[in-house]
Amino acid sequence: MKTIIAIAFGGALGALSRYAVSWFTFKHIKTFFPVGTLTVNLIGSFLIGLLWGLFAEIKIPSSVRIFLLIGFLGSFTTFSAFTLDNYAMFKEGKVLAAFTNIFITNFLCLALTFAGIMLAKSLTR
């Protein structure tokens, strides 16, 4: 139960933080480019690397780890988990696997976004 509460509370805070960053950048940076999303992904990627590195060196309760990595950063940005997975593959010398994951994830996610939009349009005609 402690794990579920840590994930839920962290997730709520991460989602609210993502909204706040996106809202702030939308209000204050006038551009067509998705600066809010980019900002969240950059911050999240840095934070997951920082926390992962710290957690490897210092002992903290698993509930805090779960709260921050899965709960908070999981809802703040899933891109941070994607980057950490690729980092692990590069570190293990699985360079081809990492580049394959990067390519497949980006290509297929974009393709499936288009497919979902096309399906929605065809269902609502």
**Residue 53 marked as a ligand binder:** no
Dist CA 44 CA 120 (whole Å):
31
Question: In the chain, helix, strand, coil percent, each to 5?
Answer: 85, 0, 15
Count of CB atoms within 10 A of residue 73's CB? Answer: 25
**Helices 95-123 and 79-91: angle between axes, nearest 10 degrees:** 150
CA distances 53 to 65, 74, 110, Å, are 12, 17, 31
Task: Find tokens 């908070």 and name the residue.
Answer: 72
Q: Are the CB atoms for 64 and 7 separated by under 8 Å?
A: no
**Residue 77 marked as a ligand binder:** yes
Binding positions for Na(+) are 74, 77
Binding positions are 74, 77
